[in-house]
């Protein structure tokens, strides 16, 4: 073979290999782009006894789906062979699921799940009311029956001054106790001496027996 013939043969083989490489790459990209898949809406909400519509889009040779047994389901016609239109109906409020999977070339897609809520979803719980700080400390006692323990707590004037909250000590027979119904609230505390914690508006935040120590009083007041 002459040098010219060998050059032509080399060029021809190189050209053929480039075409083969190009075709292989094209086939690989086409195969990757057309992998099996299935698509469902994430969630559907419907009233009890009403029809819910769910469209399943898939790429594959076959498709299978499963739905909660508490739902009735039937298929509607769609001219697109890659779409399946389902109608579902539930009668009892609750949360149900529709699951679908596609198969292509003997390989399964990832499972797709659609959550179907039948009934009006429960409203979110209201936010908790802002915490109210103690604005007043009221102590109701039977002065004639004051014990040494109660005397130590109520007699620590330096503690009450430093507490940082206005406070008052009333005998159970004081007219202020009756007019403000402190006697009724003290009864809910379990007896006398009672400590009532009030808000700025005068609402009773807490009613308890007077603690045995000033440290316990401070903890209850939150200071």
pLDDT in tens, 13-58: 455 455 545 544 444 444 444 677 889 999 999 999 898 999 999 9
Average pLDDT taken over every residue of the chain: 82
CA distances from 137 to 111, 134, 164 (A): 62, 7, 10
> Could you give the domains of the chain?
37-118 (2.60.40.10), 136-221 (3.40.30.10)
Residues 6+ apart with CB under 8 A from 86: 53, 54, 55, 56, 65, 67, 73, 74, 75, 76, 98
pLDDT score for 31: 47
In percent, how much of the chain has pLDDT > 90?
Answer: 39
**What tokens does 100 get?**
């679908």
pLDDT score for 127: 66
pLDDT score for 20: 45
pLDDT score for 223: 62
Contact assessment for residue 82 and residue 58, using Cβ atoms and an 8 Å cutoff: yes
106 backbone φψ class: left, alpha, beta (φ>0; ψ -120 to 50)? left
Q: Point out the least confidently predicted range of 12-26, 147-161, 178-192, 200-214.
A: 12-26
pLDDT score for 29: 43
- Contacts within 8 Å (CB) and 24+ apart, 141-145: 141/169, 141/170, 141/171, 141/172, 141/192, 141/193, 141/194, 141/210, 142/171, 142/172, 142/192, 142/193, 143/171, 145/192
205 backbone φψ class: left, alpha, beta (φ>0; ψ -120 to 50)? alpha
d(C-alpha 109, C-alpha 126), whole Å: 42
pLDDT score for 22: 52
- Cα 204 from chain centroid (whole Å): 32
Q: Is the pLDDT of residue 12 over 50?
A: no
pLDDT in tens, 103-139: 888 888 889 999 999 986 556 667 656 667 898 999 9
Q: Is the pLDDT of residue 195 over 90?
A: yes
Torsion angle of the four alpha carbons 218, 137, 202, 189, in this order, in degrees rounded to the nearest 10: 90
Residue whose pair of structure tokens reads 């045995």 in the numeric block: 212
Q: Is the pLDDT of residue 97 over 60?
A: yes
pLDDT, greater one: 121 or 204 = 204
User: Percent helix, strand, coil in the chain (nearest 5)?
Assistant: 30, 35, 35
pLDDT in tens, 55-69: 999 998 888 888 888
CA distances from 50 to 67, 77, 88, 92, 117 (A): 16, 19, 8, 11, 12
Q: Is the pLDDT of residue 164 over 70?
A: yes
């Amino acid at each position: 073979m002459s040098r010219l013939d060998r050059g032509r043969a080399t060029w021809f083989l190189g050209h053929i290999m480039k075409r083969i490489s190009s075709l292989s790459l094209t086939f690989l990209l086409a195969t990757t782009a057309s992998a099996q898949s299935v698509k469902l809406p994430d969630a559907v909400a419907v009233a009890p006894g009403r029809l819910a519509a769910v469209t399943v889009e898939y790429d594959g040779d076959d498709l299978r789906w499963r739905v909660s047994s508490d739902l009735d389901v039937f298929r509607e016609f769609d001219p697109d062979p890659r779409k399946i239109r389902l109608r579902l109906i539930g009668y009892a409020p609750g949360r149900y699921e529709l699951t679908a999977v596609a198969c292509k070339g003997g390989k399964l897609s990832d499972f797709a799940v659609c959550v179907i809520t039948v009934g009006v979803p429960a409203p979110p719980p209201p936010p908790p009311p802002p915490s109210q700080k103690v604005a007043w400390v009221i102590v109701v006692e039977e002065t004639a029956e004051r014990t040494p323990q109660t005397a130590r707590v109520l007699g620590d004037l330096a503690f009450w001054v430093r507490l940082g909250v206005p406070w008052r000590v009333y005998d159970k027979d004081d007219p202020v106790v009756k007019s403000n119904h402190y006697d009724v609230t003290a009864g809910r505390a379990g007896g006398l001496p009672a400590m009532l914690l009030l808000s700025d508006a005068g609402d009773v935040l807490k009613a308890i027996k007077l603690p045995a120590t000033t440290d316990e009083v401070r903890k209850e007041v939150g200071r």
